[in-house]
């Protein structure tokens, strides 16, 4: 928001970034309010809570209570955790209905097991991936967060965490720790082909594996590849997962051509001769 | 901080585990907020409530008319649900402290927000 191109996590810890000035700007910026409210709505949609039932939800990184207000409007009760006192003060000024806690998600969620019917988080957990103190190990903090989250959720409940991952390694780090903690689920990417509108939602299930929701797309093309990466309790190395596709096979050729088309290159149309077996050269 | 939240809060200091519940509440400033009554929600929360902790907290805050336990057929007893709604959702602790029963660590409450930040030594490794 403040630094164009530079990620705020690189500048220091969130409680210092979200000081009084930043908190004031955050609450007043109408574009920010719009985007955050939309994401809160989508996260709540992905939670698939039972219709018409008021639930007790956890909001991780609730900040000024923008997402919390959306939850309240939908008739739910919530508790928010945030590490920045300035943002929580802004939330108090906005008179949010949910309870607020000053806490560090990387230290664990201080609740009894089975307290919450669901969890949402908007634009918060990428802050866990950067070590701000010498003693911080991001993987440990992520594991502590996910394992305590698994415990405080009711069995079978879901957590939908919207985040801004810096790169695929970061996303992999996060999903590995979530799997270690016992969650199943995957990443739903809305509008994967748009740089601005692209949003990542990490959907985690604490019960038996259920279906992963369909991501949003600009053109509702049935042919277009659905971008989701499902993961289960079986730990498959990232490199191994790619080995399903054999290099130079027809599948691989078609995949490469589709990729280049998406990038806007001029690609020959696919026919029944695409990637066909050629006779050996020798 | 509402009493419903206090009833579910547990200390996450290293090594404490399940003995970190319930947190002992001391309140210096309390406020009563009117909150819209939602019988569905209150009925769903009743099984989650830890009654001993709730009664202890209500006692510290000198609340009256607190049910001693869930009664038979509470989902349809509006009077019971309204009493629970008042105790759980309408009583707001603004200033006070929460104490971990195992380690004795104090978590201050300021402007209704408990400070649950732990120091490095107390964090679970």
ipTM (interface pTM): 0.90
Spell out the domain ranges in chain A: 6-204
pLDDT of residue A239: 54
Tell me whether residue B125 is in a domain. no
Tell me whether residue B123 is in a domain. no
Rg of chain A over Cα atoms, rounded to whole angstroms, equals 21
Query: Number of structural domains, chain B?
Result: 1
Which tokens sit at A182? 């016992």
Tell me whether residue B104 is in a domain. yes
Question: Which residues make Cβ contacts (< 8 Å) with residue A125, sequence separation at least 6?
Answer: A60, A61, A105, A142, A145, A161, A163, A174, A202
Percentage of chain A modeled with pLDDT above 70: 87
- Facing A112 at nearest CB: one of B8, B44, B113: B8
In the three-class reduction of DSSP (H, G, I as helix; E, B as strand; rest coil), residue B96 is classed as strand
Under an 8 A CB cutoff, do B10 and A110 touch? yes
Least-confidence region, from A180-189, A230-239, A258-267: A230-239
How many residues are there in chain B?
A: 125
Number of Cβ atoms within 10 Å of the Cβ of A62: 29
Across the range A172-190, mean pLDDT stands at 90
Chain B: closest CA distance from residue A229 (Å): 30
What's the rounded Cα separation, in Å, for the pair B18 and B6? 15
pLDDT of residue A222: 42
pLDDT of residue B64: 81
Q: What pairs with residue B113 in β-bridges?
A: B110
Tell me whether residue B89 is in a domain. yes
CB A34 within 8 A of CB A67: no
> The domain spanning residue B61 has which CATH number?
2.20.25.10
Across the range B10-35, mean pLDDT stands at 84
Across the range A102-122, mean pLDDT stands at 91
Inter-axis angle of helices A20-28 and A85-93, nearest 10: 40
Across the range A197-201, mean pLDDT stands at 88
Identify the closest residue of chain B to A76 by CA–CA distance.
B41
| Domain A6-204 annotated CATH 3.40.50.150 | yes
pTM of the predicted model as reported, rounded to 2 decimal places: 0.79
pLDDT tens track for A237-275:
555 555 667 778 888 899 889 889 888 889 999 998 898
What's the rounded Cα separation, in Å, for the pair A45 and A213? 10
Which tokens sit at A247? 């290099």
pLDDT of residue A100: 93
Q: Does B42 touch chain A (CB under 8 A)?
A: no
Adjacency order of strands within the sheet including B106-110: B24-32, B91-99, B106-110, B113-114
Tell me whether residue B8 is in a domain. yes
Tell me whether residue B1 is in a domain. yes
Residue A220: pLDDT above 50?
Answer: no
Domain span including residue B18:
1-116
């Amino acid at each position: 928001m403040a630094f164009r191109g530079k990620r705020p996590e690189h500048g220091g810890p969130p409680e210092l970034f979200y000081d009084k000035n930043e908190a004031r700007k955050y609450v007043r910026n109408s574009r920010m309010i719009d985007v955050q409210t939309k994401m809160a709505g989508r996260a709540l949609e992905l939670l698939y809570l039972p219709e018409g039932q008021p639930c007790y939800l956890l909001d991780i990184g609730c900040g000024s209570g923008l997402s919390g207000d959306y939850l309240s409007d939908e008739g739910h009760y919530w508790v928010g955790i945030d590490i920045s006192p300035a943002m929580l003060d802004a939330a108090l000024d906005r008179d949010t209905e949910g309870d607020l806690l000053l806490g560090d998600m990387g230290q664990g969620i201080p609740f009894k097991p089975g307290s919450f019917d669901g969890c949402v988080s908007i634009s918060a957990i990428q802050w866990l991936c950067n070590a701000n103190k010498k003693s911080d190990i991001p993987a440990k903090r992520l594991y502590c967060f996910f394992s305590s989250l698994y415990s405080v959720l009711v069995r079978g409940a879901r957590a939908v965490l919207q985040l801004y991952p810096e790169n695929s390694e970061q996303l992999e780090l996060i999903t590995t720790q979530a799997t270690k903690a016992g969650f199943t689920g995957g990443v739903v990417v809305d509008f994967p082909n748009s740089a601005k509108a692209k949003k990542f939602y990490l959907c985690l299930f604490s019960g038996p594996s259920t279906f992963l929701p369909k991501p949003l797309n600009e053109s509702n093309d049935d042919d277009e590849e659905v971008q989701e990466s499902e993961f289960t309790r079986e730990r498959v190395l990232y490199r191994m997962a790619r080995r399903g596709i054999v290099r130079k096979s027809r599948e691989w050729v078609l995949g490469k051509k589709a990729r280049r088309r998406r990038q806007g290159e001029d690609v020959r149309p696919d026919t029944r001769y695409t990637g066909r077996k050629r006779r050996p050269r020798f | 901080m509402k009493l419903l939240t206090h009833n579910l809060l547990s200390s996450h200091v290293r090594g404490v585990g399940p003995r970190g519940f319930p947190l002992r509440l001391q309140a210096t400033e309390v406020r009563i907020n009117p909150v819209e009554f939602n019988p569905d929600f209150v009925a769903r929360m009743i099984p989650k409530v830890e009654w001993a902790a709730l009664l202890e907290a209500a006692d510290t805050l000198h609340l009256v008319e607190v049910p001693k336990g869930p009664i038979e057929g509470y989902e349809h007893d509006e009077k019971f649900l309204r009493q629970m709604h008042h105790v759980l959702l309408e009583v707001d602790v603004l200033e006070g402290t929460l104490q971990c029963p195992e380690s004795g660590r104090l978590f201050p409450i300021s402007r209704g927000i408990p400070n649950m930040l732990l120091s490095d030594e107390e964090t679970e490794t």
